[in-house]
Amino acid sequence: MVNYNHSINRHKGVIMRRQPDVLAARPRHRLAGPAMKLPALRRLLALLVLGGVLQPGLPAYAARVDAAAPAVLLAQNFNDAIDPAAYLVSEKLDGVRALWDGHALRFRSGRVIAAPDWFVAGFPAHPLDGELWIGRRKFDLLSAAVRRQSPNDAEWRQISYQVFEWPQAPGTFSQRVAALQASVAQADLRWLQLVPQVQIADHQALQARLRQVVRAGGEGLMLHRADALWQTGRTDALLKLKPQHDAEATVVAHLPGQGKYQGMCGALLVESADGQRFRLATGMSDAQRRAPPPLGSTVTYRYRERTPNGLPRFASFLRVRASE
C-alpha cells in the first residue's frame, strides 16, 4: 500500500515533502538543462506541428500520398465488325474509376481518394481495378462524395466498390475474374462487389442486352476479351457500347456566350488527344456556364459519330472527369 503520509525534512534550509514510497523507489533520471514549463512546451509542440516535423493524430487515409498516374486499360468503341462471342459483357457503370494498390484507393490520376478507414480496412492485399458507384443516374452525388478531402460516412455508406479487374495478375481475363470472385467472397464486405460478367452469343443478343440496360437507366455495356492477358493502354481487349459514344478532351478556352448566355460561357473550346480542336456548346447547365471547367481540365463529351476528318459529330459536354 502506498504511504501518502508526509514528513517534513529540513535540508539546506529547504522544506521537502516526502514522496510516496512507490514513487521514491523509482530511479531518478535528470534531463540535461533546465526543466521546460508547460506553456513553453505547448508552444514548442505547436511550432513542430506547423513545421511538419510532427503530425497530430490523423486518419489513415490522410497519411497516404499521391503517386504518378497508374497505367490502366482503356476502352475503344465497339463496332459491328467485332464478334461479341469472344468477349465477356458487363454493364457500363456510371461511376468513378478507382484503383486499389493494397494500401490506398486512387483516382486514375494517382491522387489518393479520401475513403473512410472502415471502407478499405478489409480490402485484399493485392491490387484491384473497378468503379466507385452509388447507382444508376447518381454520378453527381457520387462525384461530390469522393472528391471531399474529409470523407462523410453517411455518403460513403451508400457507395460500393464494383471490381472488374485484378491488375498484373497472370492468366486470361476469364481466369482473373474467377480469382477475383474468390477474393471478393473471402473479404465478405457488403460494399466490395464483383461486377457480373456474362457471355453473349451474337450481335442480336448484344443489342437486346444493351436495350435492357439503357431502359433501366444504365449507360451501356463493356466488353472484355475473355482470352486477354492483363494489359494497359487503349486496345480492342476492352470495348464500350453505348447509344452514343463518349471521349475525353482538354479545355483550352472559354468562348463567350450570346443572347440568354450573355456574360456566361457560351461554349468550351477543347482539344482531343490527337490535337484536334472543336467546340462543346451544349450539355452545360447554367451553373456550369457561370463557373465553367477550368482551363487545362479534362472533360468527357458525347457524340454520335465522327466525320471523315475525325471530328465528333453533335458533340456535347457530359461532365468534368472525376479525378480532376
Domain CATH code at residue 107: 3.30.470.30
Domain that holds residue 286: 245-320
Which CATH number is 282's domain given?
2.40.50.140
Same domain, 102 and 125: yes
CB atoms within 10 A of CB 102: 10
In a domain, 13, yes or no: no
Same domain, 87 and 171: yes
Q: Of 241, 270, 304, which residue constitutes the final position of a domain?
A: 241
Same domain, 254 and 233: no
In a domain, 120, yes or no: yes
In a domain, 67, yes or no: no
pLDDT value at residue 25: 40
Same domain, 137 and 215: yes
Same domain, 270 and 207: no
In a domain, 228, yes or no: yes
Same domain, 302 and 173: no
Q: Of 207, 241, 275, which residue constitutes the final position of a domain?
A: 241
Q: What is the pLDDT along the chain (324 residues), one digit of tens a residue?
A: 444 344 334 333 333 344 433 333 444 444 344 454 555 645 554 554 444 444 444 455 545 667 788 899 999 999 989 999 999 999 999 999 999 999 999 999 999 999 999 999 999 999 999 999 999 989 989 999 999 999 999 999 999 999 999 999 999 999 999 999 999 999 999 999 999 999 999 999 999 999 999 999 898 999 999 999 999 999 999 999 998 788 999 999 999 999 999 999 999 999 999 999 999 999 999 999 999 999 999 999 999 778 888 899 889 999 998 664
CB burial readout 194-220, b (16+ within 10 A) else e? bbebeebeeeeebeebbeebeeeebbb
The Cα–Cα gap between 65 and 123 comes to 18
Same domain, 80 and 223: yes
Same domain, 161 and 228: yes
In a domain, 190, yes or no: yes
In a domain, 186, yes or no: yes
Same domain, 298 and 251: yes
Q: What are phi and psi of 247, to 5 degrees?
A: -160, 175
Tell me which amino acid residue 225 is: R
Same domain, 268 and 202: no
In a domain, 66, yes or no: no
pLDDT value at residue 313: 87
pLDDT value at residue 323: 60
Same domain, 117 and 258: no
In a domain, 33, yes or no: no
Same domain, 189 and 290: no
3-class secondary structure per residue, the chain = CCCCCCCEEEECCEEEECCCHHHHCCCCCCCCCCCCCHHHHHHHHHHHHHCCCCCCCCCHHHHCCCCCCCCCEEEEECCCCCCHHHEEEEEECCCEEEEECCCCEECCCCCECCCCHHHHCCCCCCCEEEEEECCCCCHHHHHHHHCCCCCCHHHHCCCEEEEEECCCCCCCHHHHHHHHHHHHHHHCCCCEEECCCEECCCHHHHHHHHHHHHHCCCCEEEEEECCCCCCCEEEEEEEEECCCEEEEEEEEEEEECCHHHCCCEEEEEEECCCCCEEEECCCCCHHHHHCCCCCCCEEEEEECCECCCCCECCCEEEEECCCC
Count up the domains in the chain and report the number. Answer: 2
Q: Of 193, 223, 241, which residue constitutes the final position of a domain?
A: 241
Q: What is the pTM of this model?
A: 0.65
